[in-house]
């Protein structure tokens, strides 16, 4: 074999590693989930009961699935106006200015703060504030978690959409201005439509982030495996139930947690894939 081929083979073989890792991940998660599905079948997914007491063990994932979706949706909704405004601020209104650079840097810094620090901040700063507002007695729950999640995903929702908005060519906007449109009209009739897929994709990806976020939510959501009655109620998410209970779990309970991990993996994979599809449509 000549050196050319050796190099090519090394590259190829190394690229197999990530393939093997992901196949291995799926195998591990699936085989770990088999016991729980054998025991409860698909009832595991729609049952609302979570009872580890020996003898009447029952594990239902619906409360944590619902909890995950509600917190993440709420987070996205809170995040949207903030992220959208920030993108417009940086890529449209004050494009290229120093103030935009500062704001962009500060938003990027948000992505660097570890989840656990968000959790602490939520616990010690936000939670008392929520109690003061009288929104909930203890300050824990869906709403508090969503608020912190919303902050955590701002950089993900902002960075891609900012980039795409700033790529909208000037000549398109100028065509609209030359017809007498105001800036607002140009934004909504030209800029946003042209950048649409990129903007949507960045919100989808941010949503995926929110779904998998663990520590901060674990510290704030209240960790009760029941379907929440309102957004100020406490609840649990898929990621936090794993983080909380994995350590001492065995048998069926362990299998239930792994199955939740598998579901979480699949949901985020689908969401990310969707996001990528939307971006592709753009380019």
Partner 1 sequence: MTARPIKNSIFKGAVIVFSLIAITPILLIIYELVRKGYKQINISFFTEVAPSTWDAMMANNNGELIPGGILNGITGTLLMVFVASIIAIPIGLITGIYLYENAGKRYANVIRSISDILQGSPSIVIGIIGYFWVVKYITNGFSALAGSVALAIMMLPLIIRSTEETLKMIPQTIKEAGLALGVPYHKIIMRVLIPTSFSGLVTGILLALSRVIGETAPLLITALGSPMVNFNLDKPASAVPLLIWEFYNDPNMVNLIWSSSLFLVVFILTMNLISKKIAPKKN
Partner 2 sequence: MNSSIIEIKKPIISIQNLSVSYEKGKNAVNKVTADIKKNSITAIMGPSGCGKSTLLRAINRMHELYPNIKTEGKILLNDQDISRLSLIDLRRKVGMVFQHPNPFPSMSIYDNVISGYKLNGIRQKKSKRDDIVEKSLQDVALWSEVKDSLFKKGNFLSGGQQQRLCIARALAFEPDVILLDEPTSALDPIATSKIEELLVKLKKDYTIVMVTHNMAQAARISDQSIFMYLGDLIEYGKTKVMFTNPSDKRTEEYLTGKFG
Q: Segment 216-235, which members bind partner 1 (CB under 8 A)?
A: 218-219
Considering beta carbons, is residue 23 or 229 the nearer one to partner 1? 23
Tell which one of 37, 73, 246, 282 touches partner 1 (CB under 8 A).
246
What is the C-alpha separation between 86 and 158, in angstroms, rounded? 7
Q: Is there a contact between 166 and 91 (Cβ–Cβ < 8 Å)?
A: yes
* 283 interacts with partner 2 by CB under 8 A: no
Which of the ranges 43-51, 57-65, 132-140, 263-271 carries the binding residues for partner 1, by CB under 8 A?
263-271
Q: Report in angstroms how near the CB of residue 189 gets to partner 2 at its nearest.
A: 5
* 32 interacts with partner 1 by CB under 8 A: yes
Tell which one of 3, 5, 105, 182 touches partner 2 (CB under 8 A).
182
What, of partner 1, partner 2, none, does residue 64 touch, CB below 5 to 8 Å by kind? Answer: none
Q: Is there a contact between 119 and 222 (Cβ–Cβ < 8 Å)?
A: no
* 248 interacts with partner 1 by CB under 8 A: no
Considering beta carbons, is residue 50 or 118 the nearer one to partner 1? 118
Tell which one of 74, 154, 192, 226 touches partner 1 (CB under 8 A).
154
Sequence-distant (≥ 6) Cβ neighbours of residue 240 within 8 angstroms: 64, 214, 217, 218, 221, 223
* 181 interacts with partner 2 by CB under 8 A: yes
Which tokens sit at 89? Answer: 């601020």
* 196 interacts with partner 2 by CB under 8 A: yes
Which tokens sit at 134? Answer: 């009288």
Alpha carbon of 126 to those of 134, 138, 207, 261: distances in Å? Answer: 13, 11, 22, 29
Closest CA to 264 of 45, 114, 20: 45
* 185 interacts with partner 2 by CB under 8 A: yes
Question: How would you write 7-71 as a 3-class SS string?
Answer: HHHHHHHHHHHHHHHHHHHHHHHHHHHHHHHHHHCCHHHHCCCEECCCCCCEECCHHHHHHHHHH
Which of the ranges 35-43, 59-67, 166-174, 267-275 carries the binding residues for partner 1, by CB under 8 A?
267-275
């Amino acid at each position: 074999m000549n050196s050319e081929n050796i190099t090519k083979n090394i590259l190829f073989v190394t690229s197999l590693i990530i393939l093997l890792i992901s196949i291995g991940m799926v195998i591990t998660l699936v085989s770990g989930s088999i016991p729980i599905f054998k025991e409860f079948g698909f009832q595991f997914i729609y049952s609302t009961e979570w009872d580890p007491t020996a003898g009447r063990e029952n594990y239902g994932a619906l409360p944590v699935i619902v909890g995950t979706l509600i917190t993440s949706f709420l987070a996205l909704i809170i995040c949207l106006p903030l992220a959208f405004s920030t993108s417009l601020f940086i890529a449209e209104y004050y494009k290229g200015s120093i103030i935009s650079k500062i704001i962009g840097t500060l938003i990027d810094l948000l992505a660097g703060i570890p989840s656990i620090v968000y959790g602490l901040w939520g616990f010690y700063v936000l939670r008392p504030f929520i109690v003061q507002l009288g929104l909930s007695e203890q300050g824990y729950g869906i709403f508090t978690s969503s608020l912190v999640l919303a902050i955590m995903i701002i950089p993900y929702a902002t960075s891609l959409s900012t980039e795409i908005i700033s790529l909208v060519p000037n000549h398109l906007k100028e065509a609209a201005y030359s017809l007498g449109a105001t800036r607002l009209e140009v934004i909504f009739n030209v800029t946003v439509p042209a950048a649409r897929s990129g903007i949507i994709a960045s919100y989808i990806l941010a949503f995926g982030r929110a779904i998998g976020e663990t520590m901060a939510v674990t510290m704030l959501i209240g960790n009760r495996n029941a379907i929440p009655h309102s957004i100020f109620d406490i609840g649990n998410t898929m990621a936090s139930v794993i983080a909380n209970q994995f350590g001492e779990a065995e048998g069926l309970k362990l299998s239930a947690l792994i199955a939740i991990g598998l579901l979480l993996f699949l949901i985020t994979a689908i969401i990310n894939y969707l996001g990528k599809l939307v971006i592709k449509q753009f380019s």
